[in-house]
Amino acid sequence: MAGKYDATASKIMTLVGGTENVSSLIHCVTRLRFVLKDTTKADREKLAQTEYVLTVLDSGGATSSRSW
């Protein structure tokens, strides 16, 4: 049985450039923090328009999305 957020998680992974572009991923209650190998592969505009994503931030090579 698929989880409630499986489709959104899959979309986010695609929009950050795929799993092969992720060096690390850390989560907390309201954020997903990605360290990307190549930040140019991330589609920040589409990521910001994704359901449950409130903001997309870049900070020192890390990309964060603030959700719900």
Determine the longest span between alpha carbons in the chain, in angstroms: 38
Residues 8-59 pLDDT 10s: 999 999 999 999 999 999 988 888 889 999 989 999 999 999 999 988 888 7
In whole angstroms, give the CA distance from residue 53 to residue 66. Answer: 6
Residue 1 has pLDDT above 60, yes or no: no
Q: Distance between alpha carbon 46 and the CA centroid of its chain, in Å?
A: 11
The answer to whether residue 24 is catalytic is: no
Does the reported pTM lie above 0.75? yes
Of the residues 2, 28, 45, 68, only one is catalytic, namely 28
In whole angstroms, give the CA distance from residue 5 to residue 27. Answer: 15
Q: Distance between alpha carbon 50 and the CA centroid of its chain, in Å?
A: 10
